[in-house]
Amino acid sequence: MQGICPVLANFHPDKLWIGPEPQSEEWQAVQVCAKKAGVPIERLSSQTKPMNFGDARLSILAPQPDYEPGDAASNNDSLVMLIEMGRRSALLTGDAEKQIEAELLERCNLRPVTLLKVGHHGSKTSTTQPFLDALHPTFGFISAGYLNQFHHPSPTVVERLDAEHTMVFRTDHQGLSSFLTNGNAVEVSSFAR
């Protein structure tokens, strides 16, 4: 959460989308920054009406409207978003863990996706086999720091993705990666350090 204030000040987004946030000092500081930058805060849930951006459609799959955060922020507070455009789709899971994945499998009609932003930096707490069985992602993006102290991503998760024949891009190996599509063709590129 510490990086949000500079983003708001330097990039001037139209809105700050959030999921459930516990009333922590960090969150109160972000609210002050958003007000100072003139950026309205919008709380989203699975009941949020899907939004269109040109030919792309964005749907919020989690959290559910009745989800209550704990006293401290947790991985399952994450927004889970599905972006669909033509024949392509991307599922952005934030840090959501297996509990949320199980709820999504139960509640949503999950279909194969072109891109999966792998949950929680590739930790073994996310990207369960049943979740992958439903998604069959063509590409998997894992955001993990180089030689990070948590040893993300988990070798088990990488093996699961490999067994699905998912082409994996890792920030700790390839650096920044980008995914571009017009709804049909796909271009994936990496910018190594």
User: What is the predicted pLDDT for the residue at 148?
Assistant: 76
**Residue range of the domain that includes 145:** 44-191
The predicted-structure confidence for 115-173, as pLDDT tens digits, reads as follows 999 998 889 999 999 999 999 999 999 988 787 787 789 899 999 999 999 999 998 88
Instruction: Answer yes or no: do 56 and 118 share one domain.
Output: yes
Q: What angle do CA 94, 17, 35 make, to 5 degrees?
A: 135
Structural domains counted in the chain:
2
Instruction: Answer yes or no: do 38 and 53 share one domain.
Output: no
Helix ranges (H only) for 38-146 are 98-107, 129-135
Instruction: Answer yes or no: do 28 and 110 share one domain.
Output: no
Instruction: Answer yes or no: do 85 and 114 share one domain.
Output: yes
The predicted-structure confidence for 26-48, as pLDDT tens digits, reads as follows 899 999 999 999 999 999 999 99
Instruction: Answer yes or no: do 14 and 81 share one domain.
Output: no
CATH code of the domain covering residue 139: 3.60.15.10
User: What is the predicted pLDDT for the residue at 20?
Assistant: 87
Instruction: Answer yes or no: do 3 and 15 share one domain.
Output: yes
This prediction's pTM:
0.92
* Sequential DSSP letters for 43-59: E--TTSPPEEETTEEEE
Instruction: Answer yes or no: do 99 and 178 share one domain.
Output: yes
Average pLDDT score over the chain: 93
The predicted-structure confidence for 86-96, as pLDDT tens digits, reads as follows 999 999 999 99
Instruction: Answer yes or no: do 76 and 8 share one domain.
Output: no
User: What is the predicted pLDDT for the residue at 193?
Assistant: 57
Distances in Å between the Cα of 193 and the Cα atoms of 3, 73, 89, 139, 146 are 21, 31, 28, 21, 11
Instruction: Answer yes or no: do 143 and 74 share one domain.
Output: yes
Instruction: Answer yes or no: do 76 and 17 share one domain.
Output: no
Q: What angle do CA 37, 43, 47 make, to 5 degrees?
A: 150
